[in-house]
Chain A
Amino acid sequence: MPADPSAHGAHAARPEELSTAQAAAALPGTATAGRPAPQRLAQAALKDLPWEVGVAKPDPAIVVDGVTRVFGGLTAVSVDHLEIQRGGITGLIGPNGAGKTTLFNLMTGFDQPNTGTWSFDGKDLGKLAPHQVARLGVVRTFQLTKALSRLTVLQNMLLGAQGQRGEGFLRALVPGGWRAQEKENTEKAMDLLRRFKLDAKKDDFAGILSGGQRKLLEMARALMSDPKVVMLDEPMAGVNPALTQSLLGHVKDLREEGMTVIFVEHDMDVVRDISDWVVVMAAGKVIAEGPPESVSQNQAVVDAYLGAHHDAPLTVEEEDRVLAEVEAEIAREEQGPPRVPHANRSDEKDGLV
């Protein structure tokens, strides 16, 4: 496996960050009722950055360079340069068809770009298949939830565990070789299920869960692999408000645990609430990035969402003027002497009404 030696480098960076995150988290909890400190880490690091597209981050986990993806004549994604801060929550927003999901697909190996490269912790991800990307610690969820219907909730969870000995064909035949590991994984899965309040459903088929529970299950399943980067594609779509709050809490928890989170979302309140940094895409390009509060003031973002010519096509005055001109012309043709357009207009209008 070519990825292995460099994977150690990634590991080396992580515990150190985890420990700082945990230390910071422990302090306010014991002393005063302060805000959770880990959020501060990413936020503080990003505070002084200029609000401009492609800005370099102090500690990027993912770096995207010159990625384009063309479907026929349509350029779905064309990102020159983008860095994602490690340990932070990055919101990816944009109108429908902006290329957010396509960018997700590219970054996780589900789609191949026409040009460009991107890397995670300095390792090139450009040529990897989806499962290889996942093994490096970059897991994703899907916009249309992919709960594995005819597997139980617990089986769904166990599937997420990495490095399972019993997943090899021959080793599967010797239960002694994987029983112990399976037991460990089951305990871990049950812990996660309790955290996501799905433990009572562990033996139910995933297919009978509600839409929101499926979203929870999908997120919990992704966490079984101990990911370093979690990419959530519209985690709150079609979820009721109460569950949205709990999902939000879970996403924030990921950050507390030192994971890097990238998520696509349409609800601006949610984005403002949890993101440390927001990247705005439109028509395949990154048109703005910055802290959440910067984005709503950005003219390019307003234009992208509302259309660049978001003034009304014709004002009342303009309409009146055009109408008057036309009528004047008609009048000229019908009668010899031209009349005063303005007076004519009000006459006609009275007559019509």
Chain B
Amino acid sequence: MSELLDAFAIAGKAFFGFQAIFFALLAIGINVHFGYTGLLNFGQIAFAMLGGFGIAISVSMWGLPFWVGVLVGVAAAVVLALLLGLPTLRLRADYLSIVTIAAAEGLRLLFRSVSATPVTGGTRGLSAFNADFINLAPWDPAGRHQILGTSWSGGELWVALIGWLLVTVFSLLVWQLMRSPWGRVVKAIREDEDAVRALGKNVYAYKMQALVLGGVIGAFGGMVYAVATGSAIPDQYQNANTFLAYAALILGGAARVLGPVIGSMLLLFILQFADTGLRALIDNGIIPEALLSSTDVAQIRFVLVGLGLMLLLVFRPQGIFGDRREVMLDAR
């Protein structure tokens, strides 16, 4: 029983940990793209990778200050959004999704390639670029802190604090934008572009703004991940993360300010709880080894998440925060 309590505590740490922040920021960006504007961005992880490597390359390779690295990461995300958007946003929605998924995979392969090794560190990636940031912590970064039965290092806590601050800032930004006339135009574009064009709005410009905004938020997610892990490795930025962020968004409720945030926290909690919980049950012999070995747990937990999502879509398609009436309008 105590193991299950431990599992709960560990999952609770995941609930607030840097990975939840990472997915929350990815999902907030996707929410701006997909939830509000109707842009199908299937390569959000590319923005995150540029954010993370923006810092890593600037600091480790070019010897620039940390904060310049942040700016480089943001600028890279803006450039990527413009490059992806310029040719595709005039076309139907599917073209953007094709281009983004290809760009995410292509960029990762480029970053891990041998020819890029002098800049990106290749498959081994870059490390030792986050010291400037960690040392800003008002407490000892190396010390341990016990919070509700979980143990955090000072550095982890500092990253989590700033990370959640970022999540709050971006959530407020999205909230303010979406209650403004700008948000109204963007939501109308999601419903029907041509109707919005006929009312004198430059749809292309709005879509581009939304793509850049969501991409930059995603880049901050990548920065949090890179700073928290202390390393930037291209293969960490697998495109599966984009789809997990989509799962988090749908779990929480698309086109809702808090949907992606709560969705990410819950997703991470469920993944971590399933992991430690199942391991504990196997170790105690409650689940026989023949049925499920502890090496399978890492895979099985994603199966459980998938099952959960299916049940969610059947019984609560609007997610946790969504409005069922609103979602059901699509069925017409």
Contact = CB atoms under 8 A, between A and B. Distances in A.
A134 B332 contact: no
Contacts of B325: 205, 208
A110 B190 CA distance: 18
Contact of A178 (B180, B202, B203, B329): B180
Interface string A148-171: 111100011011101011111100
Interface in B186-211: 187-188, 190-192, 194-203, 209
A338 to B, nearest CB: 71
Interface in B236-295: none
Contacts of B202: 129, 131
A147 B188 CA distance: 9
A207 B195 contact: no
Nearest to A165: B181
Given A150-B329, A205-B325, A131 B184 contact: no
B183 interface: yes
A190 B181 CA distance: 17
Given A159-B199, A182-B181, A151 B187 contact: yes
B182 interface: yes
Contacts of B192: 146, 148
B194 A131 contact: no
A139 interface: yes
B197 A134 contact: yes
A134 B198 contact: yes
A130 B192 CA distance: 14
Listed residue (A147, A164, A169, A173) with the most chain B CB atoms within 10 angstroms of its CB: A169
A159 B191 CA distance: 12
A275 interface: no
A142 B200 contact: no
B181 A134 contact: no
Contact of B177 (A129, A135, A159, A173): A173
Contact of B198 (A140, A158, A166, A205): A140
A167 B185 contact: yes
A141 B194 CA distance: 10
Contacts of B173: 173
Nearest to B327: A150
B176 interface: yes
A178 B181 contact: yes
Given A148-B188, A149-B191, A172 B182 contact: yes
A175 interface: yes
A108 interface: yes
B181 A158 contact: yes
Interface in B133-189: 173, 176-177, 180-185, 187-188
A130 B202 CA distance: 8
A166 B181 contact: yes
Contacts of A160: 199
Category for how many chain A residues contact B = 35 or more
Which of B195, B197, B203, B329 has most chain A Cβ within 10 Å?
Answer: B195
Contact of B195 (A148, A164, A165): A148
Contacts of A178: 180-181
How many residues of B sit at the interface, in one of the four size bands? 20 to 34
A207 B184 CA distance: 16
Interface in A119-137: 129-132, 134-135
Contact of A142 (B198, B201, B209): B198
Interface in B286-332: 325-326, 329-330, 332
Contacts of B190: 150
Given A142-B194, A182-B181, A172 B199 contact: no
Contact of A108 (B177, B198, B209): B198
A101 interface: no
B195 A172 contact: no
A112 to B, nearest CB: 13
A155 B191 CA distance: 12
Given A131-B203, A172-B180, A205-B326, A159 B194 contact: no
A132 B330 CA distance: 30
A37 to B, nearest CB: 31
Contacts of B194: 110, 130, 142, 146
Contact of A146 (B187, B195, B200, B326): B195
Contacts of B177: 169, 172-173
A221 interface: yes
A219 to B, nearest CB: 12
B211 to A, nearest CB: 12
B200 A135 contact: yes
A146 B189 CA distance: 11
Contacts of A207: 329, 332
A85 interface: no
Given A110-B194, A146-B192, A155-B184, 13 more contacts: A131-B201, A131-B202, A134-B200, A139-B200, A142-B194, A146-B198, A148-B192, A169-B213, A172-B182, A172-B183, A218-B195, A224-B199, A225-B199
17 contacts: A130-B198, A131-B203, A141-B198, A146-B192, A146-B194, A149-B191, A150-B190, A150-B330, A151-B184, A155-B188, A159-B201, A172-B177, A173-B173, A173-B176, A173-B177, A178-B181, A221-B199
Query: 8 closest A-B pairs (Cβ-Cβ)?
Result: A134-B200, A166-B181, A172-B182, A172-B180, A146-B195, A207-B329, A148-B191, A130-B197
Interface of A: 108, 110, 129-132, 134-135, 139-142, 146-151, 155-156, 158-160, 162, 164-169, 172-173, 175, 178, 182, 205, 207-208, 218, 221-222, 224-225
Interface of B: 173, 176-177, 180-185, 187-188, 190-192, 194-203, 209, 213, 325-326, 329-330, 332
